[in-house]
Amino acid sequence: MEDKVKRILTLAFFSFLLGIPGFGMALGDVGEGRTIMDWIVLGAGYFLFAGILLGLIDPNYWYLAGMVAWGPLVISATILILDINRQPFTPMSIILPLALSLLGSFLGSIARAKIGAR
């Protein structure tokens, strides 16, 4: 039981650390010379990568990688709740990071299982 708690807390800690750049991306500006599509692709790649990394670390708890998306979830929920400058893509900014981090961690857990099966 104690080992299980340690593993879950370790993954939660890594999820928090990997979520800090995601929080920065949610707060950040697109920047000069970049388009919103560049920003979306960068964020999508980051959340997918972070999810794969967590899925490889511990395939048994791959679903905990959804916590990586805490930054965009907090910002988007605040925007929706307070109705601040509501943008049409705000619901997608909740769904996309969460879905990509979960998909990545699921794929990482499958890859880890295949590596371990050899």
* pLDDT for 33: 81
Q: Domain limits at 21?
A: 2-117
Q: How many angstroms separate the CA atoms of 105 and 44, rounded?
A: 13
* pLDDT for 11: 87
Crossing angle between the packed helical segments 70-82 and 2-27, to the nearest 10 degrees: 60
Q: What is the dihedral of CA 99, 87, 73, 23, to 10 degrees?
A: 100
* pLDDT for 84: 66
Domain count, the chain: 1
Surface-to-core class of residue 21, CB atoms within 10 Å of its CB (0-12 exposed, 13-18 middle, 19+ buried): middle
Give pTM, 2 decimals: 0.81
* pLDDT for 106: 92
pLDDT in tens, the chain (118 residues): 688 888 888 888 988 898 888 888 777 777 788 887 887 888 888 889 999 998 888 888 888 888 888 888 887 777 777 766 666 666 677 788 888 898 999 999 999 888 876 5
